[in-house]
Structure 1
Amino acid sequence: MPVMEISPSSCHVFLLLATLAVGVVSGLTIQSDDARIHYHGRWDDSPGTWWAGSGFKLHVKNATTMKIQLGPTTTTPFAAVGVSVDYEPFFTVNASAGWNDIPLPAAPTFKRSDKSVIRVNVEGWQNNRINLQTIVFNRGATLHPYKPSKLSFQFIGDSLSAGQYLPLGVDQAWPFLLGEQFKAEHTINAQPGATLTDIPSYGNVHGVSFQFFKTEDTGYVWTADHNYTTPWDFRRDRPSPTHVVIHIGANDVSQGVTPDQFVQEYLGFLKRLRTIYRTQPIFVFTPWGWPSADGNVWYYYDGKYEEIVRKRIALGDSRIFLVNTTGWVTFDDVFADNQHPNVPGHAKIANLFSEWLENWGLRPERQWATPA
Structure 2
Amino acid sequence: MTLSSCGAVVRSAVALVVGAVAVLAPAAPSARAATVDTSATYVVVARHSGKVMQVRSAVDGGAVVQASRSDSSAQQFQFVDSGGGFFRLRSRYSGRVVDVASASTANGADVVQWTDRDAVNQQFGVVDTDSGYVRLVNRNSGKALDVWERSTAEGARISQYDVNSGANQQWQLVRLGTTTPGGNGSPTDPNVKYFGRWNTSDPTAYVSEWAGAYVTVGFTGRTVQLKQRNAIDFFVSVDGGPDVSYVNRSGTVDLTPTPLAAGNHTLRVSYRPIAGSYKGDAVFRGIQLEAGASTFAPPVPAKLIEFVGDSITVGQQSSKQALTAYGWLVGERLGTGHTQIAVGGACLVSAADGCIGMSDRFLRTGLQADAATWDFSRYRADAVVINLGTNDVGHSVTKEQFQSAYVTLIQRARQKYPNATILAMQTFRKRFIPETQAAVAVVNDSKVRFVDTTGWIVEATDTTDNVHPNDQGHRKIADRLAPILSSVLSTG
TM-score range, shorter chain: 0.7 to 0.9
In terms of mean alpha carbon deviation, does 123-132 or 186-195 score higher? 123-132
1:367 matched residue in structure 2? none
Q: Which amino acid aligns with 1:304?
A: E
Structure 1 residue 281: deviation in Å? 0.6
Query: Residue 214 of structure 1 aligns to which amino acid in structure 2?
Result: R
Could you tell me which residue of structure 2 aligns to residue 305 of structure 1? 436
Change over 3 Å in CA distance of 1:111–1:320 after alignment to 2: farther
Q: Which has the larger radius of gyration?
A: 2
Compare the two structures and name the one with the higher helix fraction: 1
For residues 273 and 131 of structure 1, do their structure 2 counterparts lie closer, same or farther at Cα, with a shift above 3 Å needed?
same
Indicate the larger mover: 110-119 or 319-328: 110-119
Structure 1 261/93 Cα, relative in aligned 2: closer, same or farther at 3 Å?
Answer: same
Q: Which amino acid aligns with 2:211?
A: A
Q: Distance in 1 between matches of 2:184 and 2:271?
A: 22
Going from structure 1 to structure 2, the CA distance change for 1:362 and 1:111 (only over 3 Å counts) comes to farther
Aligned mate of 2:293, from 131, 134, 141? 141
Match of 2:409 in 1: 269
Deviation digits for residues 324-357 of structure 1, max 9, x if unmatched?
101111021001x353100111111111111333
CA distance in 1, matches of 2:286, 2:316: 30
Q: Name the amino acid aligned to 2:234.
A: V
* Structure 1 residue 33 corresponds to structure 2 residue 192: no
> What is the deviation of 1:53?
1.7
Matched, 1:213 2:363: yes
Partner of residue 397, structure 2: 257
User: For residues 192 and 241 of structure 1, what CA distance do their matches in structure 2 show?
Assistant: 22
Q: How does 1:52-131 map to 2 (within 5 A)?
A: 52-62=211-221, 64-71=222-229, 74=230, 78-94=231-247, 96-103=249-256, 112-126=261-275, 127-131=279-283
Which residue is equivalent to 1:346? Answer: 474
> Structure 2: how far apart are the matches of 1:272 and 1:134?
33
**How many percent of aligned residue pairs carry the same amino acid?**
27
Residues 189, 100 of structure 1: alpha-carbon distance in 2 compared, 3 angstrom cutoff: same
Q: Distance in 1 between matches of 2:399 and 2:332?
A: 34
Residue type of the alignment partner of 2:185 = I
Answer whether contact 2:347 2:355 (CA < 8 A) is retained: no
Measured at CA, do residues 95 and 42 of structure 1 come closer, stay the same or move farther in structure 2, by a change above 3 Å? farther
Which of 461, 475, 482 is matched with 1:332 structurally? Answer: 461
Query: For residue 236 of structure 1, what is the aligned residue in structure 2?
Result: 378
**Partner residue in 2 for 1:281:** 421
What is the CA distance between 1:29 and its match in structure 2? 4.7
CA distance in 2, matches of 1:129, 1:243: 29
Mapped pair 1:185 → 2:316 = no
Q: CA deviation at 1:89?
A: 2.7
CA-based RMSD: 2.4
Which whole-Å deviations, capped at 9, do the CAs of 1:122-177 have from their partners, x for residues lacking one?
12243353333341122343311123111100110001100111221101100000
Q: Return the alpha-carbon distance in structure 2 between the equivalents of residues 361 and 40 of structure 1.
A: 21
Task: Report if the CA contact (8 A) 1:61-1:143 is conserved.
Answer: yes
Q: Deviations over 1:208-246 (max 9, x none)?
A: 12222111124xx8xxxxxx5211111222xx2111111
Q: Which moved more, 1:163-172 or 1:150-159?
A: 163-172
C-alpha distance 200-341 of structure 1, shift in aligned 2 (>3 A): farther
The answer on 1:156 being equivalent to 2:308 is yes
Cα distance, 1:248–1:60 mapped onto 2, change above 3 Å: same
Kept in 2, the 8 Å contact 1:151–1:184? The answer is yes
Q: Deviations over 1:80-121 (max 9, x none)?
A: 11111222231211254421122375xxxx973342221101
Query: Would you say the 8 A contact 1:50–1:128 is kept in 2?
Result: no
TM-score between both structures, scaled by the size of structure 2: 0.57
Of 185-194 and 92-101, the range deviating more from structure 2: 92-101
1:42 correspondence with 2:197: yes
| CA gap 1:246/1:104 in 2 versus in 1, 3 angstroms | farther
CA distance in 2, matches of 1:216, 1:352: 30
How far is 1:249 from its partner?
A: 0.5
Q: Is contact 2:274-2:280 (8 Å) kept? A: yes
The structure whose residues are more often strand, as a share, is 2
Instruction: Tell me, yes or no, if the aligned pair for 2:347 and 2:390 is still in contact at 8 Å.
Output: yes
Q: What SS does structure 1 have at the residue aligned with 2:240?
A: coil
The letter of the residue matching 1:322 is F
Q: Against the structure 1 CA distance between its residues 144 and 104, is the aligned structure 2 distance closer, same or farther, given a 3 Å change threshold?
A: farther
Deviates more, 1:259-268 or 1:96-105: 96-105
Distance in 2, matches of 1:283 and 1:125, equals 26
Letter in 2 for 1:236: R
How many residue pairs match? The answer is 302
Change (3 A) 1:131 1:209: same
Alpha-carbon distance in structure 2 between the residues aligned to 1:58 and 1:200:
42
Structure 2: stretches of 5+ with no match in the other structure: 1-182
